[in-house]
C-alpha cells in the first residue's frame, strides 16, 4: 500500500496561507501553484493579517515564519490551532534559535528550513496530508489536527525528569527511559524528522533522535509545558494507559524480532520496532481527546462481541488505527510506519501483501493479544489468517509464537 503521492501534490483544490515569506513567493508559486497540484496560495505579511485571512476564508495549510514583525510564530500557531483546528501548521525559517523553536513545537506539525527546495516542501506537505482522505469527516480531522499533547505514563515521565535534572544525568539513561515512553518517542521523531534539522536521512530510532538533539534540547522539550501531559487514567476496563504502554512495548520488541527473522535488514527491523511501539498511539489519542466515543465503543464491542477497532468505526467512522496514523502523518513519519499503524488490525487492506513491516507488526500485535487471554482456545487467534495464508505463514503460528517468546 502506497500512502504518499510520489510526484507533487495531486489532490483536490487546496488553499494555503503563507505568512511573512514574501521573499520566496515566486518559488512557492512555481512549486505549489502548478495546475496539476491544485493549490491556491495567499500571502500576508504578519500575524495580524494571517488571523484576519483565516477568519475570512477556509485554509488547509498554514506556512509561517518563526519570527513575525508583530508576533512570534507560537502565538499565531496557538490561535490557529484553537480557532481553526483543521489547518495543518508548518513553520518555515532560517532562524536556528532553539528556544523559539521549542516554544512553537507544541503548536505546529512540521518545521522546514530555508533555503528551501520545492521537492522538500512537496514531500513534507504530502506526508502530512497523506491520510487526510481517510478521515472524510472534517470535524474529526479538525479534532486530530488540534492535538498537541499526548498522555505519558507518570512513572516513566517522573523518572525521566528526575534523571535530566540530576547533576550526573547521562544520555544513555535518558534514552533508555525515552524508549519506554510512546508519547515522548513520537514527539522526538516529529522533531528530528522535520526538515528544520537538515538531516540527510530519516530518523526512526529514539536513541538516535536523542543523541542528535542533545541533552539540553531533549530536556527543554520534555519540560516544556503543554508538550506532554499526565492524564488521569480513564478507569475503563482493559483500556488503561499503562496497559497500552506495556502492550506497545511488547509489540515493538516482537515486531523487530520478526523483521529480523524475515530477513528485512537492520533499517527495516528498526522501523518495525518503532511501528510496533507506535501502532496503538490512536488509543492514547482517544483516551485524551475522544473519551466519550471511546466509552461508547467499549460498550458496542462488548454488546455485539466484535473487535474494538470495528466498534470504533461504528461509533466514529474510523478506528484508533486511522486516528493514530493520521496524527503521525501530520507529524511527518515515514509511509512504511504509517501503513503498519493504519493496517495493523486489518492487514488484508494492503494492496500487495508481503513480508514487511506491516506483517511484522500485525503478527506481533495479534500474538500479544492472544497471550493476554486466559484459557484461550489454542485454535483461536487475533491474527488475520487469510492474510497470513497469502504470506505462506498461516500454518506457522506455533513457530511464530515461539519466536515471539524468544524475542523478549
> pLDDT by residue (tens digit) across 256-302?
999 999 999 888 888 898 899 899 999 988 988 888 999 999 999 99
Res 2 pLDDT > 50: no
If one looks up domain 14-129 in CATH, what number appears?
Answer: 3.40.50.2300
Question: What pLDDT was estimated at residue 11?
Answer: 43
User: For a pLDDT cut of 90, what percent of the chain falls above it?
Assistant: 27
Domain layout of the chain by residue ranges = 14-129, 153-229, 241-407
Question: What pLDDT was estimated at residue 204?
Answer: 65
Q: Mean per-residue pLDDT for 173-193?
A: 79
d(CA 353, CA 19): 43
Q: Mean per-residue pLDDT for 329-346?
A: 86
pLDDT category at 368 given cuts 50, 70, 90 is very high
Res 197 pLDDT > 60: no
Structural contact between residues 64 and 22, judged by C-beta atoms closer than 8 angstroms? no
pLDDT category at 199 given cuts 50, 70, 90 is low
**What DSSP character marks residue 225?**
B
Helix (H, G, I), strand (E, B) or coil at 309: helix
DSSP string, 65-121: -SB-SSSBHHHHHHHHHHH-TTSEEEEEES---HHHHHHHHTT-SEEEESS--HHHH
Which contiguous run of DSSP H or E holds residue 14?
strand 14-19
d(CA 360, CA 123): 26
How high is the mean pLDDT of the chain?
80
Res 388 pLDDT > 70: yes
Structural domain 241-407, CATH architecture: Orthogonal Bundle (1.10)
Structural contact between residues 56 and 81, judged by C-beta atoms closer than 8 angstroms? no
pLDDT category at 19 given cuts 50, 70, 90 is very high
d(CA 318, CA 348): 17
More confident residue, 232 or 294: 294
Angle at CA of residue 8, ends 6 and 12, nearest 5°: 110
Question: What pLDDT was estimated at residue 86?
Answer: 81
Question: What pLDDT was estimated at residue 9?
Answer: 40
Which grid coordinates belong to 324?
493514530
Please, which residues have CB within 8 angstroms of residue 336's CB and are 6 or more apart in sequence? 268, 271, 275, 356, 357, 358
Question: What pLDDT was estimated at residue 254?
Answer: 93
Whose grid coordinates read 495543518?
88
Please, which residues have CB within 8 angstroms of residue 82's CB and are 6 or more apart in sequence? 146
Question: What pLDDT was estimated at residue 111?
Answer: 76
Res 35 pLDDT > 80: no
* Cα–Cα distances in angstroms (integers) from residue 103 to residues 35, 76, 77, 131, 167, in the given order: 36, 12, 10, 27, 25
Res 354 pLDDT > 70: yes
Question: What pLDDT was estimated at residue 76?
Answer: 94
More confident residue, 9 or 375: 375
pLDDT category at 395 given cuts 50, 70, 90 is confident
Question: What pLDDT was estimated at residue 379?
Answer: 75
Question: What pLDDT was estimated at residue 231?
Answer: 61
* Cα–Cα distances in angstroms (integers) from residue 263 to residues 104, 258, 283, in the given order: 41, 9, 30
Q: pLDDT per residue over 101-130, tens digit each?
A: 767 776 887 777 777 677 777 767 766 665
CA terminus-to-terminus distance, the chain: 29
Residues 287-295: contacts with CB under 8 Å, at least 24 apart: 287/151, 287/231, 287/234, 287/239, 287/241, 287/244, 288/147, 288/149, 288/150, 288/151, 288/229, 288/231, 289/143, 289/144, 289/147, 290/143, 290/316, 290/323, 291/234, 294/234, 294/236, 294/239, 295/236
Res 213 pLDDT > 70: yes
Helix (H, G, I), strand (E, B) or coil at 238: coil
Q: Mean per-residue pLDDT for 86-107?
A: 76
Which contiguous run of DSSP H or E holds residue 289?
helix 281-289
Question: What pLDDT was estimated at residue 131?
Answer: 57
Question: What pLDDT was estimated at residue 55?
Answer: 95
Which grid coordinates belong to 143?
479534532
Give alpha helix (H) positions in 111-181: 118-129, 138-145, 154-165, 171-178
More confident residue, 274 or 146: 274
pLDDT category at 29 given cuts 50, 70, 90 is low
Amino acid at each position: 500500500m502506497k500512502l504518499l503521492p510520489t510526484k507533487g501534490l495531486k489532490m483536490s483544490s487546496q488553499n494555503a496561507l503563507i505568512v511573512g515569506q514574501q521573499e520566496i513567493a515566486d518559488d512557492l508559486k512555481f512549486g505549489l501553484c502548478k495546475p496539476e497540484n491544485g493549490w491556491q496560495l495567499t500571502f500576508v505579511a504578519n500575524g495580524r493579517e494571517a488571523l484576519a485571512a483565516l477568519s475570512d476564508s477556509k485554509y488547509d495549510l498554514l506556512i509561517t515564519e518563526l519570527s513575525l514583525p508583530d508576533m512570534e510564530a507560537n502565538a499565531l500557531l496557538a490561535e490557529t490551532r484553537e480557532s481553526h483546528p483543521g489547518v495543518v501548521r508548518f513553520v518555515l525559517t532560517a532562524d536556528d534559535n532553539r528556544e523559539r523553536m521549542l516554544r512553537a513545537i507544541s503548536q505546529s506539525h512540521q518545521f522546514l528550513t530555508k533555503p528551501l527546495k520545492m521537492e522538500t516542501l512537496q514531500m513534507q506537505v504530502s506526508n502530512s496530508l497523506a491520510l487526510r482522505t481517510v478521515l472524510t469527516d472534517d470535524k474529526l480531522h479538525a479534532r486530530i489536527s488540534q492535538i498537541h499533547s499526548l498522555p505519558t505514563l507518570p512513572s516513566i515521565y517522573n523518572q525521566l525528569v528526575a534523571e535530566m535534572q540530576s547533576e550526573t544525568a547521562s544520555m544513555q539513561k535518558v534514552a533508555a527511559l525515552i524508549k519506554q515512553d510512546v508519547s515522548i518517542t513520537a514527539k522526538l521523531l516529529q522533531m528530528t524528522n522535520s526538515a528544520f534539522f537538515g538531516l540527510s536521512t530519516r530518523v526512526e530510532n529514539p536513541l538516535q533522535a536523542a543523541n542528535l538533539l542533545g541533552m539540553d534540547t531533549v530536556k527543554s522539550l520534555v519540560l516544556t509545558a503543554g508538550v506532554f501531559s499526565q492524564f488521569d487514567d480513564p478507569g475503563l476496563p482493559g483500556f488503561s494507559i499503562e496497559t497500552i504502554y506495556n502492550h506497545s512495548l511488547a509489540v515493538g520488541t516482537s515486531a523487530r524480532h520478526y523483521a529480523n527473522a524475515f530477513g528485512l535488514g537492520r533499517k527495516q527491523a528498526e522501523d518495525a520496532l518503532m511501528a510496533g511501539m507506535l501502532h496503538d498511539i490512536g488509543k492514547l489519542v482517544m483516551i485524551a481527546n475522544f473519551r466519550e466515543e471511546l466509552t461508547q465503543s467499549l460498550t458496542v464491542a462488548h454488546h455485539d462481541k466484535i473487535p474494538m477497532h470495528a466498534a470504533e468505526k461504528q461509533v466514529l467512522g474510523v478506528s484508533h488505527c486511522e486516528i493514530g496514523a493520521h496524527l503521525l502523518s501530520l507529524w511527518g513519519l515515514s509511509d512504511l510506519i504509517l501503513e503498519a499503524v493504519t493496517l495493523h488490525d486489518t492487514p488484508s487492506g494492503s494492496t500487495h501483501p508481503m513480508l514487511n513491516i506491516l506483517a511484522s507488526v500485525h503478527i506481533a500485535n495479534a500474538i500479544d493479544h492472544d497471550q493476554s487471554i486466559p484459557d484461550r482456545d489454542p485454535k483461536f487467534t487475533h491474527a488475520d489468517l487469510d492474510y497470513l495464508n497469502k504470506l505462506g505463514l498461516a500454518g506457522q503460528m506455533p513457530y511464530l509464537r515461539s519466536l515471539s517468546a524468544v524475542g523478549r
